[in-house]
């Protein structure tokens, strides 16, 4: 019994050392963006990336989906970088049709991994993903992953603030009045 407990302890520590790959969203090149600092106007765009702060261990191949509510923004494109595991790919802008998210979300999706199991260090794995603001309000961008194609795991979330047009108009009028008073 004692040997079994020691074996389980050793296996548990080993599994912690070989932990699953963590994926995160970077916004405009900032690896750990502060949600309160991300603002876009309607029709503006910003580049998003998918990075792994702890790297790929050679065994945790996964499908990913970077999605947002289509009433607030669209997410398109994606290119694997030289830092990504060898078999990584971008598959398209139809994550919802591929079963990786539910309406009203949609966006880009792809694969991160390497069939030969070669570990890769931390870095940006997928870049050149474009978020295009289509409506006012807060756009919640979610990054999902799945190891088995069935169970989706929410990896990271970023909020992109999109001010209401009336707020912008009132700020502009206030600025004009302040300028006129001087």
* Res. 74: pLDDT tops 60: yes
CA of 119: how far to CAs of 38, 41, 56, 61, 150, in Å? 33, 40, 5, 11, 24
Query: Given this model, what pLDDT does residue 35 score?
Result: 82
Q: What percent of the chain has pLDDT over 90?
A: 70
Query: Given this model, what pLDDT does residue 149 score?
Result: 86
Domains delineated in the chain: 20-181 (2.60.40.680)
**What pTM, to 2 d.p., does this model score?**
0.80
The distance from CA 17 to its chain's CA centroid, rounded to whole angstroms, is: 24
Query: Given this model, what pLDDT does residue 178 score?
Result: 67
Mean pLDDT of 76-83: 97
DSSP 96: T
- Quote the CA–CA distance of 109 and 162 in Å, as a whole number: 24
* Res. 2: pLDDT tops 80: no
Query: Given this model, what pLDDT does residue 169 score?
Result: 53
pLDDT tens digit string along 3-24? 433 434 333 333 333 457 999 9
* Res. 122: pLDDT tops 50: yes
Q: Is the peptide bond before 104 cis (omega within 30 degrees of 0)?
A: yes
């Amino acid at each position: 019994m004692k040997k079994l407990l020691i074996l389980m302890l050793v296996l548990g520590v080993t599994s912690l050392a070989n932990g699953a790959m963590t994926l995160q969203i970077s916004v405009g090149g900032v690896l750990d963006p502060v949600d309160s600092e991300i603002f876009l106007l309607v029709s503006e765009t910003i580049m998003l990336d998918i990075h792994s702060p702890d790297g790929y261990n050679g065994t945790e191949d996964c499908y990913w989906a970077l999605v947002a509510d289509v009433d607030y923004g669209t997410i398109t494109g994606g290119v694997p970088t030289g830092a990504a595991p060898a078999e990584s790919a971008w598959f398209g802008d139809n994550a919802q049709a591929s079963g990786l998210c539910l309406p009203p979300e949609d966006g880009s999706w792809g694969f991160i991994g390497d069939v030969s199991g070669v570990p890769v260090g931390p870095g940006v794995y997928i870049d050149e993903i474009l978020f295009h603001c289509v409506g006012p309000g807060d756009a919640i961008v979610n990054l999902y992953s799945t190891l088995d194609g069935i169970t989706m795991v929410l990896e990271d979330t970023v909020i992109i603030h999109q001010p209401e047009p009336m707020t912008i108009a009132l700020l502009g009028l206030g600025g004009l009045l302040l300028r006129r008073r001087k």
